[in-house]
A and B are shown apart, each in its own frame.
Chain A
Amino acid sequence: MTRRFAALAALLLATPASAETIAIVDARLMTMTGTGEVERGTIVIRDGRIAALGADVAVPSDARIIDGRGGVVTPGFIQTDSTLGAVEVSQVPASADRATHSAAISAGFDISLGLNPDSILLPVSRLAGITHAVTTPLYDDRRGRALQFAGQAAVIDLAQRPQMVTRARAAMVLEMGEGGAERAGGARGSAIVQLRATLADVRHFAAHRAAYDRGEGRPQPLSRVDLEALVPVAQGRMPLIVKVDRASDIREVIALAREEKLRIILDGAEEGWRVADAISAAKVPVILDPLADLPRSFSELGATMENAARLHAAGVTIVIKTGSGVAHRARELRYGAGNAVAWGLPHDAAVAAITVNPARVFGVSDRIGTLETGRAADLVLWNGDPLEPLSQPQALFVEGSEKPLTARPLELRDRYMPSPP
């Protein structure tokens, strides 16, 4: 009964960006800025914004105080390579909007359209400290591996509000390596040639739109929406997420990006540690799953738990994710970061890899990823080390709005839990 009352109370408190002053006191603050960590600090949140933070911050007399003793405050976590908001039950296709098999829409697929803020997965992920996701298209290979691009990713928030898109069209998604080879006819050489030809087509299209629309342009294998979607990629304005694992594939992709003047983000990169210096020199960020330590394919024979630590040591900006296209299991993000620490990654680098790094890589670091005065509060109070499974969040704010620590699975739990004696 006490628990239900607490849940109810939390719901009542969950008013968005309320005209209220809140002070989280006596907690360790991981700011993820140049300020670094504050060992025992206070954060004052006024009307949803961080009004002050630090070791010697006065608590306003009207503040609701949240006791953070022994706890840690982090920025809200960001789950990259996710399908949150675009799927409810993986094997119920009608509940999923994360992939397309339309021949006319490949690069043009915009996952930011048609997302579901009422998804029950969002509060489940919040219980793991996740406030944002990079919702990223998957390939739909049901009818044969045909489409070159999966589509465009979006940064979203998990506040369950109608305007849930933090940044639409944040990056284009392309798989190279084994998957790219298969889609291009069965060989890596074909996929690389195809990509160069596509970029040439896009640039030609961009320079001759009027002729194209008169039907006078040169014939294009891609649809108009795909060509249009790729223009910012070809011009280096939109980053291209390239899914690739084998060391040699990574080298090829980096060389191609340099020649074509593309901004790329490597995703997967299980053998990245073998070419860490080349990745670092090219200043290419890497999205990786720290738990990917098995030789699942002939492109991943060098997979190791130490990939994250080695890439970080080489100066590469790393972004930690859980699996690929994750939604239901997004809540395991902090465990993956913790495992990376167990295998040599510094703790603050692991937290950066799920906060400020993805915010920077996806162009939203002006809003999220750090604890800074003046920003909408996007943060989590934990009752211990946030990377430990035995720690749990005690309070959570998504861009200014405090959210209840409840979710449908907890309601199921309470329905079936025996009453205390």
Chain B
Amino acid sequence: MRHAALVLLAATALAGCAASGRPQPASAPVADAAPAIDRDPYPGTYHAPAAERVALVGATVLTATGEEIANGTVLMEGGKIAAVGASLAVPDGYRTVDARGKWVTPGVIDAHSHLGAWAQPESVDAHNDVNEMTDPNTAQVWVEHSVWPQDPGFDAAREAGVTAMMILPGSGNLFGGRSVTLKNVPSVTMQGMKFPGAPYGLKIACGENPKRVYGGKGRSPATRMGNVAGYRKAWIDAQDYARRRDKWEAAGRTGEAPKRDLQLETLAGVLKGEILVQNHCYRADEMANMIDISREFGFKIRTFHHANEAYKIAPLLAKEDICVATWANWWGYKMEVYDAIEENAALVHAAGGCAIIHSDDPVVIQRLNQEAAAALSAAWRAGIRISKADAIRWFTANPAKALGIADRVGTLEPGKNADVVLWSHDPFSIYARAEKVWIDGGIVFDRADARYRRHSDFLLGQPGETP
């Protein structure tokens, strides 16, 4: 039952984008004009952990650019990847980590999480802040305002190599609200985890969940055609709102300013390409409908989440450059996932598309590498040739693309942020555990050192393994 509830609430969020850095409200051109809208009113305060100069030496390195390097060396300096290669000389001043027999990959990125918004202990109603199921359109809510940074799930995910993730509102509504992308660092505030410059997303949900939630209340949508009518009405309103705001801006912000509307502001952000659409959508036919809607109103879908029937339209999704964030093992919990197959990610990948293994779950997020291994194994069973060097992208480089942060993280390349995991074994083995994890070149987890475990205040003084 818990599983079913999780699935119901699992929604994709649309990530929207705040501009990189910290956009300041423009100064008003005339004295009595209304101020411009602050597009980053809850600014991030993330500070990178103290960066070391570290050399990981002797590992098998999966760069997530398609390379597997034997006896590889990874150099980190100033929070960035300085060099990656086979048998590199280690310059003076680097702390050397003996990584012989171990594996190194980019930090794991989860494209679909509800950590913090539905925090542990999750059975406690007070901790469920993920799904504002009071109206089919709640584009005005921002999931960051539900995130509790003390969720012990963040610790568990960090100990499994997860360095960044997108937190999404649930899928009970047609428009669930804004997502937020976080760095997985211990923090007392949500702002302290915000990934600098990451775009926002907007979560849209297709299919059974919205029509069940609102049909059950005797409201629209009660059907899939009701879902689509609901999306179209909202986009019409958003186009109108954007036009009025633009007209007022073009006129130098003189005269009466159109009243701000948080809901339409987020939708208008999508139409302007600033906020990325993260669309919970299972069935192939519904994904095709959503692509048509995006064309009708002139926006782009960045990612279909869950998307268990993506394999039925893999060439279309590749052509449209829409990522597919999915699982290997989940299926059958409702009608729209009856046709899920383990090879979904592999068939998207083989068609030239952007395949992602995501979690939507506080347990699965701790083993996205294993979920990817199951997907890779299914590919091999089908005779689809995909290397580990390519499959590693499914939980590193490709989610970075879906989240709009691929210019900074997701691969091990000189100049990228040093988000790195040292694994005890091949990450596609069930026996692999993350041994050390770095974010921006600073160590955030070391299995050998209890100080890096159980940061959550909630666990202090509780039974268990408090150091």
Pairwise interchain contact B433-A417, C-beta atoms closer than 8 A: no
Complex Cα gap A323–B464 (Å): 21
Q: Write out the residue numbers on chain B whose beta carbons fall within 8 Å of the beta carbon of A274.
A: 463
* Contact A89/B332 with A271-B463, A293-B156, A418-B350 known, Cβ cut-off 8 Å: yes
Is B366 engaged at the interface, CB distance under 8 Å to the other chain? yes
Q: Write out the residue numbers on chain A whose beta carbons fall within 8 Å of the beta carbon of B333.
A: 89-91, 328
* Contact A328/B330 with A412-B341, A413-B343, A418-B350 known, Cβ cut-off 8 Å: yes
Pairwise interchain contact A341-B431, C-beta atoms closer than 8 A: yes
Complex Cα gap A291–B312 (Å): 32
A417 vs chain B, min Cβ distance (A): 7
Is A294 engaged at the interface, CB distance under 8 Å to the other chain? yes
A342 vs chain B, min Cβ distance (A): 5
Contacting residues of chain B (299-355) with chain A, CB-CB under 8 angstroms: 311-312, 314, 329-335, 338-343, 347, 350-351
Pairwise interchain contact A295-B430, C-beta atoms closer than 8 A: no
Considering only CB atoms, which chain B residue lies closest to A331 in the complex? Answer: B329
Chain A 82-122, CB within 8 Å of chain B: the 1/0 string?
Answer: 00000011111000000000000000000000000000010
Is B459 engaged at the interface, CB distance under 8 Å to the other chain? yes
Contacting residues of chain B (396-454) with chain A, CB-CB under 8 angstroms: 428-433
Considering only CB atoms, which chain B residue lies closest to A336 in the complex? Answer: B430
Q: Write out the residue numbers on chain B whose beta carbons fall within 8 Å of the beta carbon of A302.
A: 462-465
Q: Write out the residue numbers on chain A whose beta carbons fall within 8 Å of the beta carbon of B123.
A: 178, 296-297
Complex Cα gap A390–B430 (Å): 9
Is A20 engaged at the interface, CB distance under 8 Å to the other chain? no
Q: Which of A298, A328, A392, A410 contacts B331 (CB 8 A)?
A: A328
Is B376 engaged at the interface, CB distance under 8 Å to the other chain? yes
Pairwise interchain contact A339-B430, C-beta atoms closer than 8 A: yes
A138 vs chain B, min Cβ distance (A): 7
Pairwise interchain contact B121-A420, C-beta atoms closer than 8 A: no
Q: Write out the residue numbers on chain A whose beta carbons fall within 8 Å of the beta carbon of B334.
A: 89-92
Please report the total number of B residues contacting A with Cβ < 8 Å.
58
Is B120 engaged at the interface, CB distance under 8 Å to the other chain? yes
Is A301 engaged at the interface, CB distance under 8 Å to the other chain? yes
Q: Write out the residue numbers on chain A whose beta carbons fall within 8 Å of the beta carbon of B362.
A: 294
Q: Write out the residue numbers on chain A whose beta carbons fall within 8 Å of the beta carbon of B331.
A: 328, 409
Considering only CB atoms, which chain B residue lies closest to A247 in the complex? Answer: B463
* Contact A390/B120 with A91-B334, A417-B347 known, Cβ cut-off 8 Å: no
Pairwise interchain contact B377-A390, C-beta atoms closer than 8 A: yes
Is A300 engaged at the interface, CB distance under 8 Å to the other chain? yes
B318 vs chain A, min Cβ distance (A): 12
Is B3 engaged at the interface, CB distance under 8 Å to the other chain? yes
Is B192 engaged at the interface, CB distance under 8 Å to the other chain? no
Complex Cα gap A152–B353 (Å): 48
Pairwise interchain contact A329-B330, C-beta atoms closer than 8 A: yes
Q: Is the interface of A mostly helix, strand, loop or mixed?
A: loop
Complex Cα gap A92–B334 (Å): 7
Q: Write out the residue numbers on chain A whose beta carbons fall within 8 Å of the beta carbon of B366.
A: 291, 293
B98 vs chain A, min Cβ distance (A): 21
* Contact A298/B121 with A339-B367, A389-B370 known, Cβ cut-off 8 Å: yes
Pairwise interchain contact A294-B380, C-beta atoms closer than 8 A: no
Complex Cα gap A285–B429 (Å): 29
A320 vs chain B, min Cβ distance (A): 13
Is B373 engaged at the interface, CB distance under 8 Å to the other chain? yes
Q: Which of B312, B332, B462, B465 contacts A304 (CB 8 A)?
A: B465
Complex Cα gap A328–B327 (Å): 13
Q: Write out the residue numbers on chain A whose beta carbons fall within 8 Å of the beta carbon of B225.
A: none
Complex Cα gap A392–B377 (Å): 8
Complex Cα gap A297–B119 (Å): 11
Q: Write out the residue numbers on chain B whose beta carbons fall within 8 Å of the beta carbon of A338.
A: 430-431
Considering only CB atoms, which chain A residue lies closest to B431 in the complex? Answer: A342
* Contact A390/B464 with A90-B4, A328-B331, A341-B431 known, Cβ cut-off 8 Å: no
Is A3 engaged at the interface, CB distance under 8 Å to the other chain? yes
Q: Which of A91, A303, A304, A391 contacts B377 (CB 8 A)?
A: A391
Considering only CB atoms, which chain A residue lies closest to B383 in the complex? Answer: A3
Pairwise interchain contact A304-B122, C-beta atoms closer than 8 A: no
Q: Write out the residue numbers on chain A whose beta carbons fall within 8 Å of the beta carbon of B4.
A: 90-91
Pairwise interchain contact B429-A388, C-beta atoms closer than 8 A: yes
Complex Cα gap A90–B193 (Å): 36
* Contact A329/B2 with A271-B463, A390-B380, A412-B341 known, Cβ cut-off 8 Å: no
Is B31 engaged at the interface, CB distance under 8 Å to the other chain? no
Pairwise interchain contact A329-B329, C-beta atoms closer than 8 A: yes
Is B152 engaged at the interface, CB distance under 8 Å to the other chain? yes
Complex Cα gap A329–B208 (Å): 21
Known: A121-B332, A294-B156, A298-B121. 18 other contacts (CB 8 A): A89-B335, A89-B338, A90-B333, A294-B152, A294-B362, A294-B363, A295-B462, A296-B122, A300-B121, A301-B121, A301-B464, A302-B462, A327-B332, A328-B332, A341-B431, A390-B376, A417-B347, A417-B382
Give 28 pairs: A residue, B residue, CB < 8 Å, sorted on A.
Answer: A89-B334, A90-B333, A91-B4, A291-B367, A295-B462, A300-B121, A302-B463, A302-B464, A323-B3, A328-B330, A328-B333, A329-B3, A335-B370, A335-B430, A338-B431, A341-B430, A342-B430, A387-B430, A388-B373, A389-B377, A390-B380, A390-B428, A392-B377, A409-B331, A412-B311, A412-B339, A413-B382, A417-B384
Binding site for A on B (CB under 8 A): 1-4, 120-124, 152-153, 156, 208, 311-312, 314, 329-335, 338-343, 347, 350-351, 362-363, 366-367, 370, 373-374, 376-377, 380-384, 428-433, 458-459, 462-465
A-B residue pairs, 5 tightest by C-beta: A338-B430, A328-B332, A389-B373, A91-B334, A297-B123
